[in-house]
Every structure is written in C-alpha cells, then in structure tokens.
C-alpha cells in the first residue's frame, strides 16, 4: 500500500491561537476543513475524547493549541538502564501511523493529534537554554511523542527547525520519522546541525505492525535524498521484534541501508528491543488483534516494563552490531534503554552509565 | 398498568414456554414441592392473559412447575390483561422489583435481566447503566454491562459453574472468545482438575496464547504427550496435575526462559547446598546479581554455613552462573 500522509477529519483550534500565523498557514493547507474553536485544551480533551475514539487513525482530528509549559524537556528514559541524555522538543503530541507496538497508545489517553502553534515561544526558550550553557551539547529530538515529520506537510515546522539549528554550535536537532515528507527542508542550508533519522524495521514487521507507514524502500529512498543534500543521517532499529526469520530479515535491512547510504554520512544507529509498560499489553491486544508481538518471551525488566528475555536481546543486538560493523566499522551503534551487562554481552564493551553514553554521543556532534 | 384480577386459572392454559418475563436460572424444585405439599401456595403467581386466551407467566414459574409436578390442575392467580400481543416492560419490571426486593439474584439472572431490558424491551443502554446496574449491585459503567451481556451466550453447564462459583466471570467471558467445542474442552479440563479460579486463569491464558502462536486448536495443544501423561497419571493429586500441566504449557509458551531456569536448577543441584542456604537468580534473570540467603541459630551454625559457602566459591558450576543468561 502506498503511503498516505495524515489527513485530519476535523480541525479544532484553541481560541488563544486562532489568529496566529502558524494557524493561518495550517488552515490554508487544509482548506476543506471548517475550524471549530474551543477555549481550554485540557477541558476540550476531557469533553471530546470519547466521541472520536473510533476515528480511523490516519484521519485523527487535529487540534491546534497553545503550549503553556516548557517545550524542551529531558527524555525520561527509563529507570535502572543506560540512557543517552537526549532532550525532547514537545511540538506535536501523538501519532496517526498506528503501529501496533506504539507506546503512545497508552501514553496519550486522547484520539487527537495536538500541534502547538506558538512556535516563536519555543525558539525563545531554545535560544535561552542553549546559549546559557555554551559548553553543554544539546541533542534534541522531536520524534519521541510524535513522528517528527508526519504532520510536516501542513505544519512546515521542519524548515523553521533546520534553519534555527543551522547556526547553533552546541546543539543539533534530530528529526526522527517513518515518513517520507522531506520536501520542506531538504534544500535548506542546514550547516550539518540537523540529523535526519529513520526508524526502520524488516519488511515483514513493516507490513504487519506498521502497515500505515511507508515501506522500507520508500524510507531509504527519502534517506538517500537527504544524503545527497548533505544531511547527517541516523537509523533507529527500535523496536526490534523477535520472530522466526528475524536474523535473515534484519540482516537484509542492514545490507539495504549500505547499498544506498555511505557509512560516513551516518552519525549513529540505535538498537532497542520491543518493550512496553504492562498496561499496554491489553491495549495492543485490543487495538491490534492480529498482531503477534505480545506473544514473545516478554518478562518484567528492572524498570517494570515488559521486555524480551535477556538472552534473546543479547543475541539480537550482538548479531545486528556484527552485521553493521562488517559494512560500516566506524559507525557508532548504541543501545536504547539497556543495562551495562547487556551492552557488554552484546558489544563486548559498555559505556557503563548514562553519563558515559552521553559523553560518547556528544563527541559525535 | 392495567388493573389485575384474582382468578382461578387452569394450568393447561398457562404457556410455560413463553418466558419473556422470566430471568430465573436454576430450578431446584424439590424443596418447593415439599413446601406446597405441606402448606400450599402462599403467594399467587402473576399472569398476563394473551390475545389468544392463554396466559404468560409474569412471576411464579417455579410454583407453576411444582404444581404441574404435583398434578394439581388449577391455581389462584393475579391476572393482568394485555392489549398487545407483545410482553410489556411494565410487567417485566413488576417481576424484577418483586425479585430484587425478596432475594439476591445470581450473576446469570442479572445477565438475563440486562439482556432482556436491552434486547426484548428496548431500554436504552444509558438507562440500563444508570438505573438498573446499581439496582443489581453492579458497577455503573459500559464495561460491566458488556461483560454481563456476554454471559447470556454461555452454555448452561458454564452458567451453572458461575452460579456455583466454580468459574469466575472473567474466565467465562474469556472462554467466549473460543469456539463452542474449545469451550467444552477447556471447561472439561477445569472440571477434571477441579482447579481454582486463579489456576484456571493461568491455564486459560497459556492455552489461548499457544493457540495463537502455533495456530493450533486447544484440543491439539492438549494432545501433547506430556500433558496426556500427566492427565493419565493416577499417582499424583489433582493440584499436582494442574501444576504439572501448567509447567508443560509454560515450557511450550516460554521455551528459552524455561530452559535457562532448568539449567539454573541443575547448577544449583550440583552445588549441593543445604536447605538452609538459598540461592536465587535475579528476577526473570534480568539483572546479573544472584542472591544467597541463609538462616542460622548460633555461631557454630553460622561457621558451618560460611564454610560451605567458602568451599563452593571456586567451583566451576558457580562460575557457570555468569554465562547462564
């Protein structure tokens, strides 16, 4: 199935943001929708969530809102495992791609895609935080609570972000996506401060668990275009799913990457195995009855999340690292939310702590 | 509501198959028959006369069945006259309020009440949730309503098991996800093992998941030789059988984990630790730290156990723990 970018069925706008240029820009891109105005975001979500519960994911209603809190936050990571010290830029909340394993199903109890419109406040906050600590490296991403680019065809936020970060000496922005919507920024002067990252999986997992997302070929074709435009690239194999032909299939994906992408253009590759909080188990079974991912050998980890049994993770990470290093010995490969023991048993080395990993990754900037 | 009239009705005129107003489940008549023999009928049944002249039971089904058993052919009844052929909500509620005022409805009867209110008398779900669920002492929400409505679809033997508190409502609802044949197979297994509700839940979940993973029917899974051997083994108790079947299913569901757990048990055995010294792996082997725990009465016992621990420190099998998982 060809990738169909997100098309909201309705648009709701918080009154405070109604006359904002971003709102007008988005409305111009969605001319068939009549905006419905509301006063308060949390009250609106509470009162309207139930009527939209059965919306088709790719037509989730869009909400344009005013971000009252901070845009930039530390990635919460997970307790008792090594994390990379990432920072999250909270511009869009929720995702329409509807992957079976998606943590957002249990995280946002709302059927809306929320886009914050007061982007000028975000840039003021970023400027202040980044310039206040010139010796600190900021690795910032917009792809934790949303797909970084899947709403970009009408928000056009990517172009503003790429331009803003182009002049930053101690910060980079990582646009993490499964989409192919790169048109708004691919021709901009990024000065090497934007990393464009694709979340990848095997063709089998893409077709069964990420069925509304672009295919592997489409994602790699978009990555290749960004490579030509001189962007740094990253790939995230997260979540890796364990199934009968996983070895052959993930090896195939690694080979496919390096058929199109030169190792020197890849800043990092991350690996993470399927994991989710226990309450998501029932949500996955309910929302994705055909998915088999819940039938893995999953057990509670030290953070309480269900994870593959440790020897399975070690085997998957070890093999992936080996395949990547065979083709790209210098590419930095890291594990997302894993213990020092798993690092060591998979890679024969460990950053020992979250601080250790952050230091290593900061050096790549 | 139309006015009613007390009159003698011949039992042949009562249509006992029309149970539109009835939600009684379980009909133990023997005690009622004895009571009627000794003191007669204290409360008249309530009937509704239909257009065709026969009578529909509003309340008193058991009394009428008992009288038929006793070959009594007439009964004094309170009779309502219906203007329509269809049963009415008013008379259903008459029976409902009479029952909840005098006795506790079992879970199947509650499900019948809810089902009839919605399907037969077309009461809105919102009204059922806000008005009738609390009267039935149930949580006032959609999830509860949906669970109880499903119970109506169960076979009578499973309904009886719910009433007898042998099977939980959750397990019964989960059984409804399987085919009728598989429901029977699983239910027979529970009966054969006389397993408690928690054990039933564990077994049911394992069977369901294995069925999904291996695309096998529950029957096919239970044909496994090890399971059949356990079921045929007359030297072990029923709880032991249930435990062993669970172990076999766990081995099928979590093959790598059960293998490593078995390897750990074998290593522990090789260490020949006394029962007072307990060696534990990290939960689910997730961490890399093992725990040794021992209890002692006095200094000499303490010395003895620390001596044992010192003596195993250099053993190979202890080193093997590191690479176990």
What's the total number of domains in chain B? 3
> Has residue B312 got a pLDDT over 80?
yes
Cross-chain residue pair B285–A307, CB shorter than 8 Å: no
Averaged confidence pLDDT in chain B: 93
In a domain, B54, yes or no: yes
Question: What residues of chain A lie within 8 A of the CB of B288, using their CB?
Answer: 339, 341
Phi, psi of A109, deg, nearest 5: -90, 55
Out of B218, B253, B288, pick the residue that ends a domain: B253
Determine the pLDDT at residue B1. Answer: 60
Distance from CA of A341 to the nearest CA of B (A): 7
- Token reading at A266: 């890849």
What's the total number of domains in chain A? 1
Question: What residues of chain A lie within 8 A of the CB of B287, using their CB?
Answer: 302, 339, 341
Cross-chain residue pair B212–A299, CB shorter than 8 Å: no
Question: What residues of chain B lie within 8 A of the CB of A309, using their CB?
Answer: 254, 256-257, 260, 284-285, 325
Domain enclosing residue A216, as ranges: 11-358
* Residue B131 DSSP code: I
> Has residue B232 got a pLDDT over 90?
yes
In a domain, B104, yes or no: no
For residue B312, the SS3 value is helix
- Check whether residue B278 and residue B224 sit in a common domain: no
- Check whether residue B207 and residue B292 sit in a common domain: no
- Token reading at A208: 């069964």
Taking CA–CA distances from B258, the nearest residue in chain A reads A297
Taking CA–CA distances from B251, the nearest residue in chain A reads A297
> What is the CATH classification number for the domain harbouring A48?
3.80.30.30
Out of B87, B108, B137, pick the residue that ends a domain: B87
Distance from CA of A310 to the nearest CA of B (A): 6
> Has residue B231 got a pLDDT over 90?
yes
In a domain, A344, yes or no: yes
Cross-chain residue pair A339–B287, CB shorter than 8 Å: yes
Taking CA–CA distances from B325, the nearest residue in chain A reads A311
In a domain, A143, yes or no: yes
Distance from CA of A109 to the nearest CA of B (A): 17
Distance from CA of A318 to the nearest CA of B (A): 14
The region of weakest confidence among A64-78, B79-93, B272-286 is B79-93
Question: What residues of chain A lie within 8 A of the CB of B285, using their CB?
Answer: 309-311
Determine the pLDDT at residue B305. Answer: 93
Give the Cα separation of A276 and A278 in Å (integer).
Answer: 6
Which of A297, A304, A307, A316 is the best mutation test for B, with the most CBs of B within 10 A? A297
Cross-chain residue pair A302–B209, CB shorter than 8 Å: no
Q: What is the CA radius of gyration of chain A?
A: 20
Question: What residues of chain B lie within 8 A of the CB of A53, using their CB?
Answer: none
Question: What residues of chain A lie within 8 A of the CB of B212, using their CB?
Answer: 292, 295
In a domain, A1, yes or no: no
Determine the pLDDT at residue A1. Answer: 65
Q: Stretch B40-59: mean pLDDT, rounded?
A: 90
- Token reading at A138: 């900021």
**CA atoms within 13 Å, Cβ hemisphere of A41:** 20
Give the Cα separation of B249 and B224 in Å (integer).
Answer: 10
Taking CA–CA distances from B215, the nearest residue in chain A reads A292
Question: What residues of chain B lie within 8 A of the CB of A311, using their CB?
Answer: 256, 260, 285, 325
Taking CA–CA distances from A305, the nearest residue in chain B reads B286
What pTM was estimated for this model as a whole? 0.89
Facing residue for B257 by CB, picked from A292, A295, A299: A299
Q: Stretch B222-233: mean pLDDT, rounded?
A: 96
Q: Which residues pair with A93 in a beta bridge?
A: A114
Question: What residues of chain A lie within 8 A of the CB of B146, using their CB?
Answer: none
Taking CA–CA distances from B206, the nearest residue in chain A reads A295
Cross-chain residue pair A310–B255, CB shorter than 8 Å: no
Q: Stretch B298-319: mean pLDDT, rounded?
A: 90
At residue A81's C-alpha, the angle toward residues A364 and A332, to 5°, is: 25
Nearest to B237 by CA among B191, B193, B286, B190: B193
Give the Cα separation of B66 and B38 in Å (integer).
Answer: 13
**Percent of chain B clearing pLDDT 90 (strictly above):** 80
For residue B22, the SS3 value is coil
Cross-chain residue pair A300–B284, CB shorter than 8 Å: yes
In a domain, B124, yes or no: no
Taking CA–CA distances from A80, the nearest residue in chain B reads B287
Facing residue for A295 by CB, picked from B209, B257, B288: B209
For chain B, list residues whose CB is within 8 angstroms of any CB belonging to chain A.
209, 212-213, 254-257, 260, 283-288, 325
Give the Cα separation of A127 and B104 in Å (integer).
Answer: 68
Give the Cα separation of B241 and B189 in Å (integer).
Answer: 11
Low-confidence ranges of chain A (pLDDT < 50): none
For chain A, list residues whose CB is within 8 angstroms of any CB belonging to chain B.
292, 295, 297, 299-302, 307, 309-312, 339, 341
Cross-chain residue pair B256–A311, CB shorter than 8 Å: yes
Determine the pLDDT at residue B2. Answer: 65
Out of B40, B60, B87, pick the residue that ends a domain: B87
Taking CA–CA distances from B211, the nearest residue in chain A reads A295
Distance from CA of A121 to the nearest CA of B (A): 42
Place of tokens 């790209």: A328
Question: What residues of chain A lie within 8 A of the CB of B213, using their CB?
Answer: 292, 295
Distances (CA, A) of B219 to A18, B161, B183, B224: 61, 21, 10, 9
- Token reading at A99: 């992957």
Distance from CA of B143 to the nearest CA of A (A): 14
Q: At what angle do helices B255-271 and B238-253 cross, to 10 degrees?
A: 120
Determine the pLDDT at residue A121. Answer: 97
Facing residue for B286 by CB, picked from A295, A297, A302: A302
For residue A356, the SS3 value is helix
In a domain, A5, yes or no: no
Per-residue burial over A128-149, b = 16 or more CB atoms within 10 Å of its CB, e = otherwise: ebbeeeeeebbbbbbbbbbbbb
Which of B286, B287, B290 is the best mutation test for A, with the most CBs of A within 10 A? B286
Look at phi and psi of residue A254 and say left if phi exceeds 0, alpha if psi is from -120 to 50, else beta: alpha
All residues at 6 or more sequence positions from A348 whose CB lies less than 8 Å from its CB, including other chains: none
Domain enclosing residue B80, as ranges: 1-87
- Check whether residue B229 and residue B300 sit in a common domain: no
Q: Specify burial of residue A244 (Cβ count, 10 A radius: 0-12, 13-18, 19+).
A: exposed
Facing residue for A341 by CB, picked from B213, B254, B288: B288
**B119-161 pLDDT, tens per residue?**
999 999 999 999 999 999 999 999 999 999 999 999 999 999 9
Nearest to A272 by CA among A232, A320, A234, A233: A320
- Check whether residue B222 and residue B274 sit in a common domain: no
Cross-chain residue pair B260–A311, CB shorter than 8 Å: yes
ipTM: 0.90
- Check whether residue B210 and residue B287 sit in a common domain: no
In a domain, B133, yes or no: no
In chain B, which residue ranges form alpha helices assigned H by DSSP?
Answer: 30-39, 61-69, 89-102, 107-115, 125-127, 133-135, 142-151, 156-163, 169-175, 180-193, 197-214, 218-222, 225-232, 238-253, 255-271, 299-312, 316-320
All residues at 6 or more sequence positions from A38 whose CB lies less than 8 Å from its CB, including other chains: A12, A13, A14, A15, A44
- Check whether residue B213 and residue B301 sit in a common domain: no
Question: What residues of chain A lie within 8 A of the CB of B284, using their CB?
Answer: 299-301, 309-310
Q: Stretch B48-73: mean pLDDT, rounded?
A: 91
Look at phi and psi of residue A100 and say left if phi exceeds 0, alpha if psi is from -120 to 50, else beta: alpha
Give the Cα separation of A316 and A242 in Å (integer).
Answer: 8
Q: Stretch B13-41: mean pLDDT, rounded?
A: 87
């Amino acid at each position: 199935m060809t990738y169909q970018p997100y098309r909201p069925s309705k648009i709701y706008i918080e009154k405070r943001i109604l006359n904002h240029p971003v709102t007008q820009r988005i409305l111009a891109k969605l001319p068939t929708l009549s905006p419905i105005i509301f006063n308060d975001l949390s009250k609106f979500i509470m009162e309207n969530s139930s009527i939209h519960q059965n919306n088709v994911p790719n037509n989730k209603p869009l909400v344009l809102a005013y971000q009252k809190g901070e845009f930039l936050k530390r990635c919460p990571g997970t307790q008792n495992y090594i994390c990379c010290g990432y920072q999250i830029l909270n511009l869009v909340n929720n995702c329409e791609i509807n992957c079976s394993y998606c943590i957002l199903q249990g995280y946002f109890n709302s059927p809306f895609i929320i886009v914050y419109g007061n982007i000028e406040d975000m840039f003021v906050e970023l400027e202040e935080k980044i310039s206040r600590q010139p010796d600190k490296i900021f690795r910032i991403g917009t792809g934790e609570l949303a797909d970084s680019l899947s709403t970009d065809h009408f928000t056009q936020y990517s172009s503003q972000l790429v331009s803003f970060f182009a002049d930053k000496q101690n910060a980079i922005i990582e646009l993490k996506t499964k989409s192919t919507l790169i048109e708004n920024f691919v021709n901009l002067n990024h000065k090497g401060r934007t990393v464009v990252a694709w979340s990848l999986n095997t063709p089998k997992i893409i077709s069964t668990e990420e069925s509304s997302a672009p295919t592997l070929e489409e994602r790699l074709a978009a990555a290749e275009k960004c490579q030509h435009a001189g962007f740094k690239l990253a790939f995230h194999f997260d979540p890796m799913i364990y199934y009968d032909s996983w070895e052959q299939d993930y090896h195939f994906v690694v080979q496919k990457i390096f058929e199109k992408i030169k190792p020197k253009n890849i800043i990092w590759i991350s690996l993470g195995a399927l994991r989710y909080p226990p309450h998501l188990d029932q949500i996955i079974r309910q929302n994705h009855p055909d998915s088999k991912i819940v039938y893995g050998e999953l057990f509670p980890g030290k953070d309480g999340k269900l994870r593959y049994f440790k020897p399975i993770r070690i085997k998957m990470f070890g093999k992936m690292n080996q395949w990547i290093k065979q083709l790209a010995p210098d590419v930095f490969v890291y594990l997302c939310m894993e213990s020092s023991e798993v690092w060591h048993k998979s890679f024969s080395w460990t950053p020992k702590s979250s601080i250790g990993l952050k230091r290593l990754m900061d050096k790549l900037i | 509501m139309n006015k009613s009239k007390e009159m003698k009705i011949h039992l042949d005129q009562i249509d006992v198959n029309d149970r539109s107003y009835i939600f009684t489940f379980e009909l133990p008549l023997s005690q009622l028959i004895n009571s009627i023999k000794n003191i007669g009928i204290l409360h008249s049944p309530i009937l509704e006369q239909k257009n065709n002249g026969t009578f529909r039971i509003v309340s008193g089904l058991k009394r009428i069945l008992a009288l038929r058993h006793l070959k009594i052919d007439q009964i004094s009844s309170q009779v309502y006259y219906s203007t329509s052929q269809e049963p009415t909500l008013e008379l259903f509620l008459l029976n409902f309020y009479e029952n909840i005022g005098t006795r506790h409805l079992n879970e199947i009867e509650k499900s019948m009440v809810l089902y009839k209110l919605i399907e037969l008398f077309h009461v809105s779900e919102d009204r059922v949730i806000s008005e009738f669920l609390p009267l039935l002492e149930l949580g006032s929400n959609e999830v509860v309503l949906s669970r109880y409505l499903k119970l109506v679809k169960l076979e009578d033997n499973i309904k009886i098991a719910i009433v007898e508190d042998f099977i939980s409502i959750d397990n019964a609802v989960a059984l409804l996800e399987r085919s009728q044949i598989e429901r029977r197979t699983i239910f027979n297994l529970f009966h054969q093992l006389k397993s408690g509700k928690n054990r039933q839940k564990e077994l049911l979940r394992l069977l369901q998941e294995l069925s999904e993973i291996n695309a096998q029917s529950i029957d096919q899974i239970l044909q496994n030789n090890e399971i059949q051997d356990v079921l045929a083994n007359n030297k072990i108790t029923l709880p032991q059988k249930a435990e062993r079947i669970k172990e076999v299913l766990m081995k099928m569901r979590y093959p790598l984990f059960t293998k490593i757990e078995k390897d750990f048990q074998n290593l522990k055995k090789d260490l020949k630790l006394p029962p007072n010294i307990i060696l534990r792996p990290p939960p689910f082997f997730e961490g890399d730290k093992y725990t040794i725990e021992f209890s002692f009465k006095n200094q000499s016992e303490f010395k003895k156990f620390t001596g044992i621990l010192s003596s195993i420190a250099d053993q190979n099998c202890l080193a093997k723990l590191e690479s176990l998982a």
